[in-house]
Amino acid sequence: MSLPQFVKFHNLLQVVESFCGAKPARIRTLDRDSDGFSGAVVLRVVVQETPQAPKMEYCLRGWPPDSLPRERLLGLHRLLEHIHKCGVTPVSVPLRSKFGTTIFAEAGQFWQLEPWLPGVADFNSNPNDARLRNAMTVLAQWHEAASRFEPRESEATWFKSFAAANSPTVADRLDRVERFQKQDVDKLRQLLEQRTHLPPWGTEFDELVDLARRILDLFSSSAARVAEDLSSYRNLRFRLHPCLRDVWHDHVLFEGDQVTGLIDPSAARSETPATDLARLLGSLLGDDDERWEVAISAYRSVRPLSDREVSLARVIDQSTVLLSGLTWLERLFVHRLSYSNPPRVLDRLKQIASRLDLLASRLPPNG
């Protein structure tokens, strides 16, 4: 995978040296055709200060110009440091540079360097209950520590806690469902009819178009009822505190049954913990109701979770199923983003379509 255009290799050497005091021995880009879509470039960096010194591995993360505000990044770094100090060790804390800050600015770009966490995101290859409980325990510990974080005034927009407030996710999901219903589904259908080829899609393109049409049909059959369920939570108030908001299968690392990393927290900001439960359990368990109960019980062994928060998590998960396929179709057919592994994208869309089928069968008739 080549470096994005905004990244210059000679700049990377300078960035790493500002944090470590030594130039990297090796830099490797990561191929991440995933749900995460922050726009950040993620690089695996090996540093060896002297030939006799041990090799140290780091994650170098950079954002394109005009992405996340500086104050939000600094607040996130302080949040992660706080959580780690609270004893939640599967969290990587960005290093400070020789200039004393956790951000290095280079040509309008922000960079951070953090220890590379061990482990593999392989829950689906061994989805036992011990792993599930451990993942939920670590998530609950993360939430409990985050709820005690005290942001600076410049960081409060993203990381302030509230005893009772409306969920931003509920409002956002309702707006997105309405947007797709009113105009974007029709726009996507028109683009599919044009059958304009997408590089680098080859023989898989026809299958992609057929799958896209199926996803659009399933959205249309379920959107009104999901929106109705979401609307019942629009004006309800929940506790809000910093949450990950993008914690899913590929962002939870394991060694054996132990969780060794909760990675890629760039989407973190204040929300109801129900959003993280929905994102994680939807990706790990799908619609397995019995194992959702196992997971909720493990979370509750660490911190309280109300029945209303659990119910909201299920509704948010339904909205994720409803919207995720259309989000992918927008990326592919509207924004024409290129993905290096079309079969992997197809597999993800097939998973989404399968859950959409089940969602449509489980929802009672609208009205």
DSSP per-residue letters across 249-301? GGGEEEETTEEEEE---TT-EEE-HHHHHHHHHHHHHTT-HHHHHHHHHHHHT
Does residue 241 sit in the same domain as residue 190?
Answer: yes
Mean pLDDT by 10 residues, the chain (367 residues): 54 88 82 51 87 90 84 97 98 96 86 96 97 98 98 98 98 96 94 86 90 96 96 98 97 98 96 98 96 98 98 98 96 88 91 95 76
Does residue 109 sit in the same domain as residue 159?
Answer: no
Instruction: Give the number of C-alpha atoms closer than 13 A to the C-alpha of residue 146, restricted to the C-beta side.
Output: 33
Q: Give CA torsion, residues 12, 18, 23, 28, to 10 deg.
A: -40
Does residue 250 sit in the same domain as residue 273?
Answer: yes
Choosing from 115, 145, 176, the residue where a domain stops is 115
Q: 235 lies in which domain range?
A: 123-362
Backbone phi and psi for residue 359, each to the nearest 5 degrees, phi listed first: -60, -45
Kindly list the distances between the CA atom of residue 308 and the CA atoms of 172, 209, 237, 267, in Å, as whole numbers in the listed order.
Answer: 19, 39, 10, 24
Does some domain include residue 151?
Answer: yes
Does some domain include residue 237?
Answer: yes
| Helix, strand or coil, per DSSP, at residue 24 | strand
* H helices present in the chain, as ranges: 9-20, 70-85, 129-146, 156-159, 168-179, 185-194, 205-231, 273-285, 289-300, 307-329, 342-362
pTM: 0.93
Model pLDDT, residue 36: 43
Does some domain include residue 305?
Answer: yes
Does some domain include residue 1?
Answer: no
Q: How far apart are CA 133 and CA 324, in angstroms?
A: 26
Does some domain include residue 2?
Answer: no
CATH number at residue 353: 3.90.1200.10
Does residue 110 sit in the same domain as residue 127?
Answer: no
CATH number at residue 39: 3.30.200.20
Does residue 32 sit in the same domain as residue 86?
Answer: yes
Does residue 42 sit in the same domain as residue 70?
Answer: yes
Does residue 266 sit in the same domain as residue 167?
Answer: yes
Does some domain include residue 367?
Answer: no
Does some domain include residue 3?
Answer: no
Taking Cα atoms as reference points, which of 131, 148, 173 lies closest to residue 312? 173
Does residue 39 sit in the same domain as residue 59?
Answer: yes
Does some domain include residue 59?
Answer: yes
Omega before 199 within 30 of 0, i.e. cis: no
| Helix, strand or coil, per DSSP, at residue 61 | strand
Choosing from 81, 115, 149, the residue where a domain stops is 115
Structural domain count of the chain: 2
Does residue 141 sit in the same domain as residue 96?
Answer: no
Does residue 103 sit in the same domain as residue 141?
Answer: no
Does residue 355 sit in the same domain as residue 223?
Answer: yes
Partnered with residue 112 across adjacent β-strands are 61
Choosing from 115, 137, 155, the residue where a domain stops is 115
Model pLDDT, residue 230: 97
Backbone phi and psi for residue 122, each to the nearest 5 degrees, phi listed first: -130, 30
Does residue 17 sit in the same domain as residue 74?
Answer: yes
